[in-house]
Amino acid sequence: MKENQQSVLVESAARFPPPKGVKLSYGTAGFRADASLLESTVFRVGILAALRSLKTGSVTGVMITASHNQVSDNGVKVADPSGGMLTQDWEPFADAIANAPDPSSLLQLIIEFAKKEDISFEGGRPAEVLLGRDTRPSGEALLDAAKQGISSIVGAIGTDMGVVTTPQLHWMVRARNRGMEASESSYFHQLSSSFRCLMDLKPEGIRKNVDDNTLVVDGADGVGGKKLDHFKKMLTGLCIEVRNRGDGMLNEGVGADYVQKEKVSPRGFGPADAGLRCASLDGDADRLVYFSVKLNENDKIELVDGDKILSLFALFIKEQLSILNEGESKKENDSYRAHLGVVQTAYANGASTDYLKEMGLEVVLTPTGVKYLHEKATEFDIGIYFEANGHGTILFSEAFRCWLESTHKTLLSTSEGSAKQKAASRLLAVSQLINQAVGDALSGLLLVEVILQYMGWSICRWNELYHDLPSRQLKVKVVDRTAVVTANAETVAVRPIGIQEAINAEIAKYTRGRCFIRPSGTEDVVRVYAEATTQDAADALASSVAELVDQYLGSGTT
């Protein structure tokens, strides 16, 4: 690294001193904290994104958002060239530079890391980073800090994409690196055109439920509601009413996280909405849940969560693959029999996992965290992942997409196989509609809507796919959460010695009992999740296991 570059880094970093006594860690959500503490961190993430661009020779992204957190918080995360999250290999470096105490320490870390990663600051393609932010008042100043971090790498270019949803920013990074136009208009055009294609491919004779023709969406008073209110004008065959578009407080009594956790209707919804199909986005529009308001039960709802969304998607895609394979022996179709897989975490309701397995689908579990789900889903020709909180997507492998396009062209040239040709067309349209970079509430919502119309289903019929097992989540305060070590996708506790055997003894007392513990990634608590056939049983199982955790590690349940 030349002296000029070193001096620019030191001088720039001096303008953004880190807050004293604050240590941040880069996780699935990136860095997240009270917005007043983040200016230095966001500046340094700008540097990291530029270095990642230099390393890969591709465009990267920086998104300023705290998703479903309260409005006083904010956060920052990096979009890798694939459009996905920052590679896990770089997370330790992110932690190190965010917590470097002074400019000289920061410079030394960068020099050492650049040498280790063989990053050249001269002669190659200049770094390029796309920047976006949500609607938080703190976003503009933090985005400016990110820009200054990017520009502290000589020659680096930071392009402000404006106020966007998190999935839009990720989609734009992926698009740029695939030689496509990266803009909000191109994003909306791709979604609307693929949605229109799927609507045109609905089977004839499907009866539409006239009482279920309007979708009412809670926009969480965030960026997603504003975008959807604009985008809905481009959609035909779907009537959308958007509430909580930004007039109220972001994420306060609204949004997917609130609705999914509290199982109550968001602000602005009430008894008059009973019978309507409703959905909630979260603050940055990367989560989606559906719900219907119960009649004469105050704010109680029937929740249709991410597990049910996953099940609907899996059902539809499995049907299209079955149509494609119809009439062909396995031997005849050995050239490409798509490997469809479903990825969940241990937090997925056991009833959903049973339903998916009964469909004959391969279901695999990963540790909690979207980065693990996404990575595992890439191992399939079609990988579907969702968390119960409504964050998930569908991934199509490049090899399968190429085969599908070739098969589609072949079917178009023959008089037979019109059903197969339509199935191939539907799968290709799904691959364009769904955001393969990251979970996207807007694209997910459109896919739900078109499948419901394809099936001729109301939200009530959809919700009857299976009935969730009652569950309970608790957390136990502990002195050292690292004392709990898990295996088998966090379903088995291998440390402390003996605790899993004690948990198994409690589980055995309940019909269809299931329970696991895992350490929190952010605070000194151990989380407990329990299921059983009744709510009382689930509550009792969770409480007894929480007591075990307290006995083995100490110091009280919350």
Residue 2 CB neighbours (<10 A)? 10
Q: Is 152 annotated as a binding residue?
A: no
Q: Is 527 annotated as a binding residue?
A: yes
Closest CA to 170 of 446, 442, 522, 521: 442
For residue 166, the SS3 value is helix
Q: Is 518 annotated as a binding residue?
A: yes
Q: What is d(CA 377, CA 360) in angstroms, rounded to the nearest whole number?
A: 17
The kind and range of the H/E element at 85 are none
Q: What is d(CA 315, CA 353) in angstroms, rounded to the nearest whole number?
A: 13
Cα 74–chain centre separation: 17
Q: What is d(CA 174, CA 190) in angstroms, rounded to the nearest whole number?
A: 13
Residue 25 among the catalytic residues: no
Q: Is 286 annotated as a binding residue?
A: yes
Q: Is 520 annotated as a binding residue?
A: yes
Show the DSSP H helices in 34-183 as ranges: 39-56, 91-98, 103-117, 139-151, 166-177
Q: What is d(CA 484, CA 494) in angstroms, rounded to the nearest whole number?
A: 8
Q: Is 345 annotated as a binding residue?
A: no
Q: What is d(CA 225, CA 441) in angstroms, rounded to the nearest whole number?
A: 10
Q: Is 12 annotated as a binding residue?
A: no
Q: Is 522 annotated as a binding residue?
A: yes
Q: Is 282 annotated as a binding residue?
A: yes
8 Å CB contact between 222 and 288: no
Q: Is 334 annotated as a binding residue?
A: no
Q: Is 387 annotated as a binding residue?
A: yes
Q: Rounded to 5 degrees, what are φ and ψ at 401?
A: -60, -40
Residue 517 is encoded by which pair of tokens?
């513990």
Query: What strands, in cross-sheet order, belong to the sheet with 128-133?
Result: 31-34, 73-79, 60-64, 128-133, 157-163
Query: What strands, in cross-sheet order, belong to the sheet with 382-386?
Result: 362-366, 340-345, 382-386, 392-396
Q: What is d(CA 157, CA 404) in angstroms, rounded to the nearest whole number?
A: 37
8 Å CB contact between 480 and 502: no
Each residue of 329-350: b (16+ CB within 10 Å) or e?
Answer: eeeeeeebebebbbbbbbbbbb
Indicate which residue of 67, 82, 151, 471 is catalytic.
67
8 Å CB contact between 113 and 93: yes
Measured CA to CA in angstroms, residue 107 lies from 90, 244, 448 at distances of: 17, 45, 48
Q: Which residues are annotated as a binding site?
A: 67, 282, 284, 286, 387-389, 518-522, 527
* Active-site residue list: 67
Q: Which residues are annotated as a binding site for substrate?
A: 387-389, 518-522, 527
Q: Which residues are annotated as a binding site for Mg(2+)?
A: 67, 282, 284, 286
